[in-house]
Amino acid sequence: MTVALDHRPTAGGLPVPFACEDDGGALDHAHVVKRRAIRCALSRICGICGETLSRPIAFFGPESEGDAGLFTFPPVHLPCANAALDLFVPIGGSHLGQVEAPLRWTLVTTGGFDLIRPTRRGDGVTFRPNSVIETRSVE
Ligand SMILES: [Zn+2]
């Protein structure tokens, strides 16, 4: 059962994903909180709604992340990804862990993923889908 964005706290009138809230409750649409991203990976929870992940697992990000096969935003439910992209892509601006709105987004569904830890201290983690089912472009 997914709750998508309906039960998330809001900032600027818009729901803030689980991955963009720090443990102190600070909300920032433009940045993924590293600790939350790691928690999503290790505890298998959705970066949008914070509930347990189910398959297929979805990732979204700018087209450049899709091309590289490496995503900044942690794994999410597919319905949560669709709800988030439906809401935020038309708005543009700094949302979904992106400082600048991408021109084009990529949505990937996968059976699994690897958590990639940064090589430099202080950098964020990234995620690599490892059993891609489908890749879709979203504008
Ligand atoms: Zn979810």
What tens-digit pLDDT sequence spans the chain (139 residues)? 445 788 899 999 999 999 999 999 999 999 999 999 999 999 999 999 999 999 999 999 999 999 999 999 999 999 999 999 999 999 988 999 999 999 999 999 999 999 999 899 888 899 999 999 999 999 8
Alpha helices in 11-137 (DSSP H): 34-43, 63-68, 78-88
Q: What are phi and psi of 103, to 5 degrees?
A: -70, -40
Residues in CB range of 42: below 8 A, 6 or more apart: 115
Q: How far is the CA of 85 from the centre of ligand 1 (A)?
A: 13
Domain extent listing, the chain: 14-138
Cβ atoms of 59 and 78 within 8 Å: the answer is no
Partners of 61 in beta bridges = 106
Give the environment of ion ligand 1: residues with CB less than 5 A.
Answer: 2, 46, 48-49, 77, 80
Q: How far is the CA of 1 from the centre of ligand 1 (A)?
A: 8
pTM: 0.94
- Give the sign of the dihedral formed by CA 71, CA 76, CA 79, CA 83: negative
Q: How far is the CA of 45 from the centre of ligand 1 (A)?
A: 8
